[in-house]
Structure 1
């Protein structure tokens, strides 16, 4: 059984928390962990992220006969549901000036036994963390990442680039969207971290790894990550889902 902690915090400078984070579980079936970071003004950003998480959770809990679904079935389901979320938000933004320009990042991780399926849009992140390493699974859909890929700037320049918050892909901001998909495998020595950029922009990878792999329970580690981001400035909302498996035994119903 997957253990998880969800912590979301407004940060030190914002007046509204535009992040949303939640975990949904089907009895004797998979778990879905979702993090979203909204944009488009106080009301729009909050609405976009919370609606994306809400719809994904509701649709997930409606899935019947989940035990018979394999990885491809779940990938199809995730894609279809994310396209539905995108259409819903896009149409609201088109028809209501109060929500014009809203959108949200979205990272959803479906975990079944020791296996995981990651879907990703935007610049929130998914990490796999072990005692001696931290691996960023997702690739930011950001302007700075395009410059990095082309070799125009360095990692150090990216960290302080004035356009580092420009997102090139978001749920609800365009009529159609294509999320990225990744596969992961977990064991008893690994942790899964899903977070918004309120954490990843403030706390470097090594400090994240040190906190997550330190002694202590999952809740304290998740809280410590958020507290450190606040100590380092807390300019943005901060959301964290931290998950681990209690046992290295491979479940019978793995993909």
Structure 2
């Protein structure tokens, strides 16, 4: 597995409320992206604390995991629910942090499959055979409008309420987590990114950089620069994981 990650504050924001993680342990092929929100520095705290909480859950429980498909999916969901509980409780322990929350999108490669846990409007993509597919579904107001046919995907890109999300981690005691899985194939590239990237770029632009650059770090770097060139109105984070041919 090859992995690369970059984050940038962008052109407008003063703080970076995005966080990410890539495992450096060959026995745990895990990557996470989170995009925080909240007053003061709440967003920055929420995204980092959520990832730290997921990692804490993995550290305590992963070694005892029965690694069949159903158990792995349940494990991922439980890790995100644990993070939700921790962020929710932390927010209510400090008046300055009340209302803070975060998106969270997690990728685990295990037993020849990819597993993705997801809440919010950060995204996971799969690049395979020079095609890009969005795996996750945005939990956002505009995505709901698209689903019921009120607006098109193109109109959603510039909709004035595109930043309103309908699900987040840390806001409520109970959350609904989306889970996805599929077979891993050689040369697959998995991308986790915040909306600071996808609001500035099309899926085709993302795909082009990974086709043009065999080095996934260079592709990520080019995409960050392009997102900033196109406006960079938000924090921008991208993690790319490539399955190496064995």
Is this a same-fold pair by TM over 0.5? yes
The Cα of 1:189 is off from its aligned counterpart by: 3.1
* Structure-1 separation of matches of 2:103 and 2:214: 30
Which is worse superposed, 161-170 or 177-186? 177-186
User: Where in structure 2 are the equivalents of 1:1-255 lying within 5 Å?
Assistant: 2-27=1-26, 29-63=27-61, 65=63, 68-247=66-245, 249=246
Instruction: Provide Cα deviations, 1:73-129, integer angstroms capped at 9, x if missing partner.
Output: 222221222111111111222232100111000000111253111000000000001
* Structure-1 separation of matches of 2:211 and 2:60: 35
Distance 1:98 1:105, change over 3 A: same
* Structure-2 separation of matches of 1:156 and 1:220: 28
- Mark the runs of 5 or more structure 1 residues left unpaired by the alignment: 250-255
Which is worse superposed, 65-74 or 230-239? 65-74
Normalising by the residue count of structure 1, what TM-score does the alignment of the two structures yield? 0.91
The Cα of 1:65 is off from its aligned counterpart by: 3.5
RMSD: 1.6
Q: Is the 8 A contact 1:32 1:108 kept in 2?
A: yes
In structure 2, what is the equivalent of residue 253 of structure 1? none
* Structure-2 separation of matches of 1:65 and 1:53: 19
Q: Is the 8 A contact 2:18 2:36 kept in 1?
A: yes
Instruction: Provide Cα deviations, 1:61-81, integer angstroms capped at 9, x if missing partner.
Output: 333546752222222221222
